[in-house]
Amino acid sequence: MLSRLVSLGVLGLLLWAAWAAWQPPVMRAEPRPVLQHLADRPGEASELWRVVSRRMIVPKAAEELGQSLRERGLPAILIAHQEQVELHAFDDPRSFDKREDAVAARNEWKKAGFDAELIKPDENFGVALGRLYMVAYAQQLQRRLDNAGREFTYERRLVLIPTWRFTFAPAPYAEASALWVQVQAMGVADPVLMRESRFHAMFGDAVAGAAP
């Protein structure tokens, strides 16, 4: 029985390797040190701590979260600045000399159910199939493109874009930890509990003078 399970496991690995060899570049979720509950522990009793919400790249999402925090009586401080964010770009691999040819290609993609857009990165025209910042959404689009059986290109690069987070007034560890639990219970993905010194090293310029 054990030998049969081992054989099935080896077969499964071989099938997976064959499948992976034919896939376009797959996006990996890189570690996000400021988007997890840090494993810091309290030190000196006088040391202060901060709760920081997840990063948001959509203004409406930041607005809705801010409203939700206010409704719950949580006086949040907005952190608005620019950060390097990973962009996942999907394109039609073709380059077109004439705009009408690019428009025809874009319309083909639209008929296939994709949100294609015309682009002009240089002297020629191209067709963009998606510009996504979240790995999960990029993987969904990649699967749709794979299932459509149409050729496409993929590029991953860092771009500087506006981002938003919320933080709160610094507090002793016990108080900040209780607030972290409260924010987590709201469904705010991955709020962070970090030392005040670490917070200022990462976000000090964005919230200078905002904290009481």
The pLDDT of residue 100 = 94
**Measured distance CA(53)–CA(36) in Å, rounded:** 10
- CATH placement of domain 93-151: 3.30.70
Fold: same for 48-84+161-207 and 93-151: yes
The pLDDT of residue 42 = 55
Instruction: Give the three-class secondary structure for 210.
Output: coil
The pLDDT of residue 44 = 59
| Sequence ranges of the domains in the chain | 48-84+161-207, 93-151
Q: Which of 158, 169, 143 has the alpha carbon at shortest distance from 24?
A: 143
CB 29, CB 133: distance < 8 Å: no
Sign of CA dihedral 42, 178, 37, 131: negative
The pLDDT of residue 39 = 42
Residue by residue, pLDDT tens for the chain (212 residues) are: 433 433 333 334 333 333 333 333 333 334 333 334 444 555 555 789 999 988 888 888 888 888 888 888 888 899 988 888 899 999 999 999 999 999 999 999 999 999 999 998 778 999 999 999 889 999 999 999 999 999 999 999 999 999 999 999 999 999 999 999 988 888 766 788 999 999 988 887 666 444 43
Residue pLDDT, tens place only, 160-172 = 999 999 999 999 9
The pLDDT of residue 204 = 72
Cα pseudo-dihedral 157, 163, 169, 174, rounded to 10: -40
- CATH placement of domain 48-84+161-207: 3.30.70
The pLDDT of residue 180 = 92
Token pair of 133 as six digits: 């910042």
The pLDDT of residue 123 = 82
The pLDDT of residue 168 = 92
